[in-house]
Structure formats: C-alpha cells, structure tokens
Amino acid sequence: MSAVTRAAVEGVLRQYTDPYLNQDPVSAGCVQAIDIQADQVRVHLRLGYAAALFSKGWAQVLASAVENLEGVGQAQVEVDWQIVAHKAQAQVPGMSNVKNIIAVASGKGGVGKSTTAANLALALAREGARVGILDADIHGPSQGVMFGIAEGTRPQIREQKWFVPIKAHGVEVMSMAFLTDENTPMVWRGPMVSGALLQLVTQTAWDNLDYLVIDMPPGTGDIQLTLAQKVPVAGSVIVTTPQDLALLDARKGVEMFRKVNIPVLGVVENMAVHICSNCGHAEHLFGEGGGEKLASQYGVDLLASLPLSMLIREQADNGKPTAIAEPDSQIAMVYQELARQVGARIVLQAAAAPAMPTISISED
C-alpha cells in the first residue's frame, strides 16, 4: 500500500468545485490544514461566507472522495467559515461593528425589493451569520411589519447617543418607522432624508454584525448617492420583475452602482412565473426571461428567480417571511441559495479588486 501524500489529497480536492465560489477548495484558498497519520486523513476547510446549511453536505462529499484515494482508510473533512470585512469604496472608512454592508435596491417600487431584503437577511442568519437589516426606505418603511415588530415599538437609547436595534427572528432590525408615528408621512427634502440614513447607519449600536442588509428606497436619488459616498458598502443586489418597464429602471440601478464603484453582486427576479393553485398551469404574467437578459447584458449573475406567490406576500404581511415561516419549502431554499451566493460573491469581488499601489519615499 502506497503512502498517502498531501499532494494526492489536494489532487482529489481539486476535482470538486465549490458551487458558490466556482473554484475548487485548493484554488479558492480554503484549505487550512491536511493532517495525514498513516491511513487516516483529516482536512480542514474554511469558507469566507456563512454556510451552515451547506457545509455538512459539502464535507461529506469531499470526505467520500478522499476515502476513495488509494491508501486512505478513513477521511474526515471539517468545513467551517470565517467572515471578514469587505468594502468597495477605498475612500470610505469601514465600520468597527459591521463587517459587510449589502445594499438591496430596485429601479422602481412594487417589485418585491423589501420582501427580498427581509428574506435575504433571515436566510443569512440561518446560515450562521450575525445579521442586521436597516430599513432605508425613509418614506415607506416596511421592515417592522415584515419582522412582526409591534406598532409603536421604540428602540432603547444607550449613552444618549446610540439606538439599540430591535431583535426579531435572530436579526437586528432598525427603521425610521421605530422613531416616528406609523401614520405620519416623512415629508422631507433630500438632505434631510440623507441625514436620517447616515444617522441610522452610524448611530445604531449594531452588535458586531457579519452582514448588514440595507433595504434601499426605489430609484437612483439622494439616498443612493449618500450611501455610495459615506457608507462602506461591500456590494449591491438589484431586484426586478421580468416586466419591460421594471427592467428599464433596473438597468439604471445597475449603471448607478457601477458609476459609484459599488459592485453589483447579481440580480434577483421576482414574480417570474405564476402557478395556478387550482390547475397547476404556469403563466408568465410579467414576461419571461427578463432577469436573465438583464444579468447577461451587464455581465452579472441571476442570483435567484422567484414565482409570483400569494404565500410569499401573506407570510411577509404576517411578520414571518418565507425563509423562516416554511424553512424547508422550495421557495425558502431559493432564499438560502441566494444568501450563500451573495456571501460568496462578496468574497470573490474582494479577491478580484485591484490592490492599492504602495508608495515608497527615498531621500536619494
């Protein structure tokens, strides 16, 4: 029996592709250790994105592959993850209590952006990450309702300067709705809205978050520009429907983020198809393939395609979005895929970013 070598184990690992990083574990730099004791092999992999619901199955697949290697009697693969801080804008200082900020945006209203943001935050938390969500839609905040937070709930104030976010379903939630009367409209001009956003981001006592999901207002106005200039965003997710009008506005959103050097992590297509609850007939009410065309046009990925479902709407309205209301359902699994895709793409974007040149000063 030939002795097992590290090179042989790495050769086996190279044959398997992480479906979210689109690389094998060795090339992706995930291998932390390979310990070989006679015919016993232990491998330790570390991912850069939260993957609690994926890591066990991934470890089993790789362990079985290593055990098929000649000379291996037993293989054990451990997969964990460590999320580090990333930001896109070099000129914007990072936040000490938030590692990664994800902006969920849309070109127009009514495309399911807030529902997507809520389910993304909850799915990231289910994957083992520390997650917060900020409702930046100052004029039409809705996250309080989606997270089942009672009307009139107010955040505690710490040291006369920090808002303590409200925790719901394992996610820290902050919204302008918590600071005002629910029936009072925010009749504010742009500078006031931008100031409110910055205050909510920087004066909320986030508790060492891995991800802060920001539910952006629709459009490409003051809040979006303020976000790009003052908030250290790691990447953005564009939400659209297949409808031509929605796609037209979504394109503007993609272009805006590109102009301010915030990477677009991908596109989420809502209301892609309607399945009749009586006969099962599938009908594309808002058009077909629009999200895929948009993603292809801008060289980004279609991260998720979700149906037009009454259940998604009802669960969000009842304060328990699909990702936790029916965690084993097919739709919830789409949101889990979305969470892992977003987390992995933040890692990939950071790896692809050009390094800043070093400046050396000589007295010569």
Distance between start and end Cα atoms, the chain: 63
Average pLDDT over the chain reads: 85
Question: Does the pLDDT of residue 198 top 80, yes or no?
Answer: yes
Q: Are strands 235-240 and 264-269 parallel, antiparallel or unpaired?
A: parallel
CATH class label, 6-81: alpha beta
44: part of which helix (H) or strand (E)?
strand 40-47
175 membership: H or E segment, kind and range? strand 171-175
Among 85, 147, 120, which residue's Cα sits nearest to residue 238? 120
For the chain, give the number of residues.
364
Q: Which homologous superfamily is 98-352 in?
A: P-loop containing nucleotide triphosphate hydrolases (3.40.50.300)
pLDDT of residue 253: 78
* pLDDT tops 70 at residue 186: no
Packing angle of the helix pair 330-352, 113-126 (nearest 10 deg): 80
pLDDT at 185: 54
Tokens in use for 257? 């983020």
Alpha-carbon distance of 68 to 311, in angstroms, equals: 45
pLDDT in tens, 338-347: 999 999 999 9
The domain ranges of the chain are 6-81, 98-352
> Same CATH topology for 6-81 and 98-352?
no
At 85-129, the pLDDT tens digits run: 998 888 788 888 999 999 998 877 778 899 999 999 999 999 999
Helix H or strand E encompassing 80: strand 74-81
Q: Which band of pLDDT confidence, cut at 50, 70 and 90, is reported for residue 259?
A: confident
Instruction: Give 264-299 pLDDT, tens digit per residue.
Output: 999 898 877 656 566 654 555 455 555 666 677 767
pLDDT of residue 281: 47
pLDDT over 60 at 43, yes or no: yes
Query: Residue 181: which pLDDT band, with cuts at 50, 70 and 90?
Result: low
Region 228-248: what's the mean pLDDT? 81
Provide the pLDDT for residue 279. 61
CA distance 323 to 30: 28
Least confident of 36-50, 94-108, 169-183: 169-183
pLDDT band at 140 (very low <50, low <70, confident <90, very high): confident
Per-residue model confidence (pLDDT) at position 361: 47
pLDDT of residue 192: 65
pTM above 0.85, yes or no: yes
User: Is 70 in a helix, a strand, or coil?
Assistant: coil
Report the percentage of the chain scoring pLDDT > 70: 84
